[in-house]
Structure 1
Amino acid sequence: MKMPSLKPLLIPLTAITAGSAFVSYKLFNFAFKRVDYVPETSKEKQKYADKYYEYVDWFHSVPSEDWYLNEDNPDQKMVATYIPAQTATKKTVIIAHGYKGNRETMANYAKMFRSMGYNVLTPDDRGHGESAGEYISFGWLDRLDYLQWIHRVIEHVGEDSQILLFGVSMGGATVEMLSGERLPDQVKAIIADCGYSSVEEELTYLLKKQYHLPEYPVEPMVSEINKRAAGFGLESASSVKQLAKNQRPILFIHGEKDTYVPANMAYENYHATHAPKQIWIVKNATHAESFWRDPEAYQERIGEFLNTYMK
């Protein structure tokens, strides 16, 4: 019996493979390559723009210092702003910013924590702001930089420092991923606002939600591209896996109506954590909107958590 020719099948199969590779490279370049500007905020948060720029003006006018890691190496230089508290204190918050943001975009949180009596350190992550880096690592490689920032704070403030780790969106995931490392005793607590459960799960979610693309073969291709470009596969970058090793008290905050990082990821992170933990789902809040909906309630809820773990 004569077997049917495979040639008619090979052409569309080759076309599909080539098309998937093209889409994957385009997606990787869009999502993972650095950009030297801050994209416009979402429509639902544009109503807060005037207030946001008031915070930015404060950020640039308040007494501060520029801090550096690897200052003499342009390819590895990291930059941060240190804002001392109005009254001398041993309490410092290290603030991790969101995706394609920078330290300036965390001005509102910086001002809030300073009003609560904290020194504030706000770094630019790899591939963001004034820090070096060709690619965005979504918190995974950034966690190693934050370990260095922690030691820098201890050197500056003293061995009796009390350090709080705080982050929003990608920054929330950054401090969650950092939580699984061997942290100095000076790190007392963590607050993660709308962090994702893993880079792999977040990308898969957005592929379906925003781009109407299947997980396979796009996500594995993007993961392989990132492994070659940045040195790690997306399956490695997991908040859930790191939180399972966490030993610090942690507060999870998440918007109920978050469609960018869905609230179920907050519950995944919460259930993965064995350390003392609290979760606050903010009603009607979208992605990274919890502070803006009611800044006083946000500060009050954080204050309650810190009164328990950072007296």
Structure 2
Amino acid sequence: MKKVFFGLFIILSYIFIVGIFFTNKMMYIKKKTDKEIIERETMLELYNQEEFDALEKKHFSIPSRFGYLLKGSLIEPHGTNRYIILCHGVTVNRLNSVKYMNLFIQKGWNVLIYDHRRHGESGGKTTSYGHYEKFDLQSIVHWLKQEAGDSIVLGIHGESMGAVTTLLYAGMVEDGADFYIADCPFSELEAQLLYRLKAEFKIPSFLVMPIAKPFVQLRDRYSLKEVSPINSVVNINSPVLFIHSKDDDYIPSQMTQQLYDKKIGTKKLYIAEKGSHAMSYADNREDYSKVIDDFFTEIGL
């Protein structure tokens, strides 16, 4: 009998340790500091502190439906009704969006940058890889349309987790933007976790995923299956530009290909020849910019 109880204790301990460890890694993923982001972006010549400081910004703070505040900045250098919202990736914040902000400002667009939940100055206790973030994006869209008017031409650009958030939002009933740009998203959170589990931990998935999935549901109140751009993309009516680096070894470019194939209606795909994860623009600046111009031309902008 003691052996039975001891065996049960070992099994329950393993389940608890694995469940807590992997969900902590997900929910409380380590974030980069402002200093780290600025140093990296400055080194890549994608960020200039003096130029950024010189821009006139309208800082805002709006409530999320989940009880915290979302912080961001609206930059309106142009007297136009064209606006684009930028959604950053996991571990960074709106400072990482400055390179894209500069790109779109050069193209004549006003820009909104903001911090996702649990990133930068925004509140929120956990990172949900697009699940709760899509509702926060919805709140950002509503605020911008109240601020600038319902008649604006609106685009949303997302990178990595921000691209997932963008696609999940776009697949909601609302479909509130005129176009979307999704740079290096994953197709499904569960598939991405399986890929990273194999790459980082070399552990068979059957020893982790059956435990991690119910722990996420229990601790953060959502299912991994709900974070599925591949299911959302079929509901997107507006045009989508999909972007990914061919050699991305963090999120495989095949995932973007799957999303592109599944999207119905107007769409465009750009697979960058150079660049690791989330580096398509940094390593292919002229091509990246031209692809966006071509996309705008194709959709009548």
TM-score of the superposition, structure 2-length normalised?
A: 0.90
Which segments of 5 or more consecutive residues in structure 1 lack a partner in the other structure?
1-5
Match in the other structure for 1:24:
19
Displacement of 1:57 in angstroms is 4.8
Match in the other structure for 1:112:
103
The 3 A distance-change label for structure 1 pair 94 and 47 is closer
Aligned length: 300
Among 70, 75, 82, the alignment partner of 1:78 is 70
The amino acid across from 1:79 in the alignment is K
Among 140, 144, 151, the alignment partner of 1:149 is 140
Among 164, 168, 171, the alignment partner of 1:177 is 168
Match in the other structure for 1:103:
94
Match in the other structure for 2:180:
190
Which segments of 5 or more consecutive residues in structure 2 lack a partner in the other structure?
none
The amino acid across from 2:169 in the alignment is L
The 3 A distance-change label for structure 1 pair 232 and 262 is same
The 3 A distance-change label for structure 1 pair 267 and 135 is same
* Partner-residue secondary structure (3-state), 1:112: helix
* Partner-residue secondary structure (3-state), 1:121: strand
* Partner-residue secondary structure (3-state), 1:244: helix
Task: Say if 1:93 and 1:118, in contact at 8 Å, map to a contact too.
Answer: yes
Match in the other structure for 1:87:
78
Query: What does 1:220-299 correspond to in 2, within 5 Å?
Result: 220-299=210-289
Match in the other structure for 2:129:
138
Displacement of 1:188 in angstroms is 0.9
The amino acid across from 1:123 in the alignment is Y
Q: After the TM superposition, which of the residue ranges 217-226 and 12-21 deviates more from structure 2?
A: 12-21
The 3 A distance-change label for structure 1 pair 40 and 218 is farther
How many Å separate the matches in 2 of 1:274 and 1:41?
39
* Partner-residue secondary structure (3-state), 2:178: strand
How many Å separate the matches in 1 of 2:18 and 2:49?
37
Task: Say if 1:226 and 1:233, in contact at 8 Å, map to a contact too.
Answer: yes
How many Å separate the matches in 1 of 2:34 and 2:151?
39
Q: Deviations over 1:265-286 (max 9, x none)?
A: 1112112211311111111321
Task: Say if 2:175 and 2:236, in contact at 8 Å, map to a contact too.
Answer: no
How many Å separate the matches in 2 of 1:282 and 1:104?
23
* Partner-residue secondary structure (3-state), 1:141: helix
How many Å separate the matches in 2 of 1:8 and 1:52?
63
Asked if 1:218 is matched to 2:208, the reply is yes
The amino acid across from 1:160 in the alignment is S
The amino acid across from 1:290 in the alignment is S
Match in the other structure for 1:63:
56
Task: Say if 1:95 and 1:167, in contact at 8 Å, map to a contact too.
Answer: yes
Task: Say if 1:188 and 1:309, in contact at 8 Å, map to a contact too.
Answer: no
The amino acid across from 1:262 in the alignment is P
Displacement of 1:91 in angstroms is 0.6
Q: After the TM superposition, which of the residue ranges 31-40 and 55-64 deviates more from structure 2?
A: 31-40
The amino acid across from 2:170 in the alignment is S
Task: Say if 1:127 and 1:136, in contact at 8 Å, map to a contact too.
Answer: yes
Match in the other structure for 1:123:
114
Displacement of 1:89 in angstroms is 0.7
Query: % of aligned pairs identical?
Result: 24
Task: Say if 1:34 and 1:127, in contact at 8 Å, map to a contact too.
Answer: no
Among 44, 68, 75, the alignment partner of 1:51 is 44
Q: Deviations over 1:42-93 (max 9, x none)?
A: 9xxx98651356345533331101112128x994111111111x32111111
Q: Deviations over 1:185-223 (max 9, x none)?
A: 6x2111000000111111111001111122224223222
* Partner-residue secondary structure (3-state), 1:223: helix
Match in the other structure for 1:3:
none
The amino acid across from 2:52 in the alignment is F
